Structure 1
Amino acid sequence: MLHIPSTSGLRAFEAACRYLSFNQAAEELGVTPGAVSRQIQTLEQYLGKTLFHRHHKRIELTAVGRQYLAEISLPLEKIAAASARLRSETRRNAVSICAYPTFALRWLIPRWADLYEHHPDIDVQLITSLNPADFERDDFDISIQVLPDGTNLTGMRIDKLLEVVTYPVCSPELAKKYSRPEDLHDAVFVHESPRPTDWPRWLAEAGVSNINSSPGLHFESANMALHAAENGLGVAIGIDALVQESIAAGRLVKLFDVDRRSNHSFHIVSSSRKSTRPKLATVREWMLEAAGQPV
């Protein structure tokens, strides 16, 4: 017999980890913040461990919470992918997309309404994962991947979507402290696990060699790191395409006039065998147009 906690508690925990906010997790799940808090408390009671530190206006994962998230993320992703695959068998109009969580939340979803406005006949199924899609196992139609420019993969069509241009970002209030890169010597550096070299590489680009960026706050995802920066906890490295909306809304400020342009970009990857299917081609072309790329 399998002994597993409530799925509602796991969903609440995973959403709260992504946002570092019970309020935003509740908004995504369509419940109240109190319900999210109770579900996570029930999960903590089941496990006999504290998963979050509760502060006045923010929450923070405990070391146990970070370990638990790392261990359950892949199984949850597999459950989501398997469920999506079964559902897709009865939804012939669906186009399935596998994307990085931060890319989905900060670039794809904000543009989703435009896709449906122009193509209401196309159903899109979105699965998020930090790992590249396995087309043989998961049968996705499209995967968004960061790849070296000019990459060729056998049996795959690859279209460059967005360049990866990085620079420091922080809250408007915190930005008042920094006028030049050298001022970061006393900054709280915000790091994300999937991109551990962003800070050293940007500091090298800025010509700053006497600052140790290793200490600071470390998060499991870029979205969590950016939420921390938005809430004034420190300075994060943002990818331009994924922080433009937050900058325009005044939640983040770009620091300095130094950009680091990577030779690894966001690409649309699809099976050559499927790539000419009309609905898949339509979604791919819509994404390229939204990114300002030639179709």
Structure 2
Amino acid sequence: MLHIPSTSGLRAFEAACRYLSFNQAAEELGVTPGAVSRQIQSLEHYLGKTLFHRHHKKVELTAVGRQYLSEVTVPLEKLSAASVRLRSETLRNALSICTYPTFAINWLIPRWANLYEKYPEIDIQLITSLNPADYERDDFDLSIQVLAEGTTVKGMQIDKLLDVDTYPVCSPKIAEQIKHPADLQNVVLLHENPRPTDWPRWLHMAGLDSIDSSKGLQFESANMVQHAAINGLGVAIGIDALVQEDIKAGRLVKPFDIVRRSGFPFHIVSTTRKASRPKLVAIREWMLEAAKQPV
């Protein structure tokens, strides 16, 4: 017998983890914040554990919540991928794009209207995953992946899309406390588990090896880290292409001019078997052109 909680509770939990906000999770799921809260309370009741600390206007994962997220993320992604494969039987004409959630939210979706205006005849199926697309398992048309500069793979077409330029970002209130890079010693550092070297490498570049790069709070995704920074929990390492909208809107501040360029840019990846298809060529060229445009 399988012991599986309500899928609505799991969806609400996963969305709330990404945003660290019941309000934003509710917006994504198309329900009210109260509904998200009730779904998560029901999940907590089922598990007999508290998953979130509730604060005024923000939430924070408990240690149990972080552990539960790490354990359910992969199964949920596999369930999503299996469902996508079955649904694709009725969406054979749709072009499937797999990308990281943060890249989709902060780079691709803000440009989606322009894409649809240019290619209204191309139906697109957008799938997000914290892990790179697995072309041996999944039959995606295109994916966005972080790969080493100059990577080549037999049977794959790989095009560099965007450099990964990294630097600290924080809320305007936190920015008032850090006038110089050395002031980072006195604030909470926010870490993204999939990118554990961002802080130590930036601090080394800034000549701040004396600061403990491991201190602070750990999060499962870039999206969670970014929202934690927006909500004033500490200072995160942002990727320029993914934080520009928040900086422009005043939700985040870039307190220092020191920028580190990673050797692992974002790339567009597709199989050579599909790469020359007109729809893929059109979307790939649109992405490469969009990457050249200012925010």
Residue equivalent to 1:88: 88
Residue equivalent to 1:110: 110
Q: Tell me how far 1:93 sits from its aligned partner.
A: 2.4
Residue equivalent to 1:197: 197
Q: Deviations over 1:93-130 (max 9, x none)?
A: 21111111111111111111111111111111111112
Residue equivalent to 2:32: 32
Deviates more, 1:34-43 or 1:97-106: 97-106
Q: Tell me how far 1:269 sits from its aligned partner.
A: 0.6
Letter in 2 for 1:237: I
Matches for 1:1-295 after TM superposition, within 5 Å: 1-292=1-292
Q: Deviations over 1:182-205 (max 9, x none)?
A: 121101111110111111100111
Deviates more, 1:161-170 or 1:48-57: 48-57
Structure 1 CA distance, aligned partners of 2:132 and 2:71? 18
Identity of aligned residues (%): 75
Q: Deviations over 1:216-246 (max 9, x none)?
A: 1111111111111111111100000000000
Unmatched runs of 5 consecutive residues or more in structure 1? none
The SS at the match of 1:69 is: helix
The SS at the match of 2:126 is: strand
Letter in 1 for 2:128: T
Letter in 2 for 1:182: A
TM-score, length basis structure 1: 0.97
Letter in 2 for 1:6: S
Runs of 4+ in 1 over 4 A off after TM superposition: none
Q: Deviations over 1:48-96 (max 9, x none)?
A: 1111111122111111111111111111111211222222222232111
| 1:82 and 1:138 in contact (8 A); partners too | no
Structure 2 CA distance, aligned partners of 1:132 and 1:12? 23
Structure 1 CA distance, aligned partners of 2:161 and 2:102? 15
Aligned length: 293
| 1:93 and 1:121 in contact (8 A); partners too | no
Structure 1 CA distance, aligned partners of 2:150 and 2:132? 17
Letter in 2 for 1:130: L
Structure 2 CA distance, aligned partners of 1:156 and 1:117? 29
